[in-house]
Structure 1
Amino acid sequence: MDRILLMTSFARAVETGSFSAAARDLGIGQPRVSRDIAALEDHLQTRLLHRSTRKLTLTPEGERYYADARRILDAVGEAESSLLKPAEATGLLRVACPTALAHAFVLPHVPDFLARHPAVSLDLQISDRYAGLVDEGVELAIRIGHLEDSALRARRVALFKRVCVASREYLAVHGVPETPDDLRAHECVVYTLLTSGSTWRFKDAEVTVSGRLRVSSPEAVRDAVTAGVGVGYGPQWLFADGLQDGRLVLLLRDHEAPPVPIQMLYVANRLLPKRALVFMDYFAAAFARVAGLNGGLDG
């Protein structure tokens, strides 16, 4: 029994979401993947996956085994890579990234990154949904905010300010809020995927806001605020164009909260392959060149 092959079939099934997708990725038949995973479960005497016609779901035992198997496979790949081509990053790298951040600061640099590392393939998973690094096969996640999961490690690559803004047209009709508490009387455009929900954080207060428009996209917040729908809250770089050309106005500047970190997260007990290390180094340097990200401090 070749346990590395069995682990590989299992890990790719988890990461791709199906036996057939794993088979295509590995260049083998779907029945082979199914047999490999069945053999692995028989060897371990435990069920690793719940199968259904729609998707595969890890059992609790499968979650634990996947984390260990992924770490082992990464170590094997890194060991082989270091002998075959010591200076070259290789393989498929899966990176999760928030939508607005991806479009503003990651995607513009992807062509150059891939040109510099021709043996690396990039699966950039752009979503504001919280992607799991263990159960979804993601090696790196770019996330906004402070690290709260002790199973993860973080490299801080940037800092930015969250600001409150509105259009001149909106303020002319509704007035200018002077304190965070004044926002309770204003139409606020609520970003539904904000980790704090509809609570906006300031230096000296947390205010639960409301409004008739709720959206699940940062860009939609920006567009709605620019159109005069209401007051918005988000990273200053999101509103940079409107602030620069005068369509938008910064509000409550004396109440701004401390800067928020942008971090690259990875699983603490997993050996990072070189493709992940070069990605972190490249984009930390790219973020450092953006004034709105406060110099991209390493942490």
Structure 2
Amino acid sequence: MMDRVIAAKVFVETVERASTTAAADALGMSRAMASRYLSALEDWTGTRLLHRTTRRLSLTSAGERVLDLSREMVRVANDMSAAAGEGDSPHGLLRVAAPTILVEERLAPLLARFLCLHPRLSIDLRASDRPVDLVDDRIDLAIRIGRQLDPNCIARKLGETRSTLCASPSYLAERGVPAHPDDLSSHSCLTYTNFGAAEWHLHSGSVAVKVKALGPFRTNETLALRRAVLCGVGIAMLPTFAVEGLIASNALQAVLPGWEPQPHPIHVLYLSRDHLPAAARALIKYLEEDIALHKC
């Protein structure tokens, strides 16, 4: 269920600014998300609140009555937040979603340290490579790797993650070590379906190439992809943070080290800038500082 206080605030701002787009900008959310809040408010009240045309918005008679109630609702909510001292320190429950490989390699220990700093806070962590719907899944923050982002959410870039082509020593002993990206056409390329599985983008200095990545195995689960590489099935492109330890221990071997895969951005997604809990704001800052310190 959508937050009714936020829906009321979107309604008030839309009426006062005579524009859903202007209201969305003022509240720090996308126009699509503002429209969803207005529709949710109309569903809740069971009546149309606004007449919408290409040129202007106007209140219905029911909308005039609901407008006064919405203003009062926003005022009371603001007073309650101030009385509770919500901005003083992070507390309560924070729901976070993130890719499985990032959770296992980086996020789980980071969140453990974060919870030690904020003992009044608890976190519900959802580990999944499946993109989540922040509204339907009741997620406060979603961390995503890649360029495909939900246009209904605010996206804040935390940094970038590098990738490494790698394979097991046993696979390379049997099939040979590629010397150039063109050599990959004769190898088994294992792919991650969420990042454009059929094509790898590599560059060496100013030279950039696209390689068809064809092979016997693809998956939408990064942990499964890493396991397949360790089992000697083929060559894969994986986040560097997820394989650097395995390469150092010789469990895996870097392939084409002179050719670097295209980095992928890391974003944190949320629904509105103005209604982030103190816990969410604190965690975003903590994530930014950690990624800046340790890179990915």
Question: Which interval holds the TM-score relative to the shorter structure?
Answer: 0.5 to 0.7
Could you tell me which runs of 5 or more consecutive residues in structure 2 were left unpaired when the two chains were aligned: 9-40, 49-71
**Aligned equivalents of 1:126 and 1:169: distance in 2?**
31
1:44 to 26, 43, 46: 46
Q: Distance in 1 between matches of 2:165 and 2:73?
A: 46
Shift of 1:75: 9.7
User: Within the alignment, does 1:87 sit opposite 2:88 as a pair?
Assistant: yes
**Is the 8 Å Cα contact of residues 92 and 121 (structure 1) preserved in structure 2?**
yes
In structure 1, the residue corresponding to 2:261 is in which secondary structure? coil
Q: Distance in 1 between matches of 2:125 and 2:243?
A: 24
Separation in structure 2 between the aligned mates of residue 174 and residue 115 of structure 1, nearest angstrom: 48
Between the two proteins, the alignment pairs up a number of residues equal to 233
Letter in 1 for 2:264: V
Is this contact kept in 1: 2:97–2:142, CA < 8 A?
yes
In structure 1, the gaps of 5 or more residues are: 9-38, 47-71, 294-299
- Contact 1:140-1:265 at 8 Å conserved across structures: yes
Q: Residues 201 and 262 of structure 2 are in contact (CA less than 8 Å); yes or no, is this contact kept in structure 1?
A: no
Query: 1:143: how far off?
Result: 0.8
d(CA) in 2 for partners of 1:75, 1:102: 39
The alpha-carbon deviation at position 112 of structure 1 amounts to 2.9
Q: Structure 1 counterpart of 2:256, which letter? A: L
Per-residue deviation, 1:89: 2.1
Secondary structure of the equivalent of 2:189?
A: coil
Q: When the two structures are superposed, what TM-score results if normalisation uses the length of structure 2?
A: 0.67
Counterpart of 1:216 (choices 216, 220, 229) is: 220
Q: Aligned partners of 1:124 and 1:287: how far apart in 2? A: 19
Secondary structure of the corresponding residue to residue 189 of structure 1:
strand
Q: Which one has a bigger Cα radius of gyration?
A: 2
- In structure 2, relative to structure 1, the CA distance for the partners of 1:214 and 1:148 (3 Å cut) is closer
Partner in structure 1 of residue 202 of structure 2:
202
1:15-26 alignment runs, 5 A limit: none
C-alpha distance in 1, partners of 2:142/2:73? 19
Query: Match of 1:229, SS?
Result: coil
User: For 1:198-237, what per-residue CA distance to the aligned partner results, in whole angstroms no more than 9, with x for missing partners?
Assistant: 3222232232322223333222222221222111111111
User: Which residues of 2 match residues 220-299 of structure 1 at below 5 A?
Assistant: 220-268=224-272, 271-290=275-294, 292-293=295-296
CA RMSD, aligned part only? Answer: 3.2
Partners of 2:75 and 2:91 in 1: how far apart? 13
Q: What secondary structure does 1:282 align onto?
A: helix
After alignment, is 278-287 or 224-233 more displaced?
Answer: 278-287
How high is the TM-score relative to the length of structure 1? 0.67
Using the TM superposition, give the Cα deviation of residue 98 of structure 1 relative to its aligned residue in structure 2, in angstroms. Answer: 0.4
